[in-house]
Structure 1
């Protein structure tokens, strides 16, 4: 067992406690972010979103790291939608090792179906009732922005270093860039430069691969 996995296993009792505390509608997932392509290492009540051990992360970059409200290594109360249209209220906390490196994430996903039904009933009984919480104010200091950049850098390094294969062939590089594109890596500022440097190719090549992937996707959608 790797040292990182051993450290992350210490969070499993916390995950189980949260799930038992909030019941059947509450899913808790632990990600090993040193293994980005198969980051899910533990899940409980996974009927909520269908997360399985060995899957990769989905919302970490697009909805957590890039959120205006992400600060101090956590984002609480953002919403995601399941394929069957259910609303999930989610929270993500990054997990660091003794060297202050991000090694994992603990995610709580709560199915709001029953709550929404109750809220609707209460709203009908008490018109104008609102329990919305004020938005969390983000700390826009330099350290906060550097933290996100460092996390992005580490994710890119981990994704490339754990890629199966030699990455000598063009198709292998395209598939790796496809994975990073799907996970939102290229939404991060400066990510194209970083990926190009680590893969030993030009920025123009990265953009051409992304353009090729976009055209392939559009072609598949029109079939």
Structure 2
């Protein structure tokens, strides 16, 4: 058993068995994939409900040394902020995540718009519209 992530952000629990002939050569593969995306979301909700009420110490800050890693880290933080995988995010969730990325300076990184658009499964045009919603909302 192992876990994989699909291009659209769903999480799958997979098991694979190789079918071999008498000579030990692989003749086929039997694989079972189970989508655990919603289970992971449920786990997140449950863990928040039963979390110890004592003040938890914050984990040590991760120090990023490469610009590419910085964008990856910011995207991961945006996803954690929303609390669900991209495959389950609605439009409002994606807008909140993109606003977080903008406020964190993610779009100052070269080609970040392409990567963020691809990650969230939206066009660059939609990305810029989502960024404008923030400017219109707070740009008084």
TM-score (norm 1): 0.32
TM-score (norm 2): 0.48
Pick the structure with more helix per residue. Answer: 2
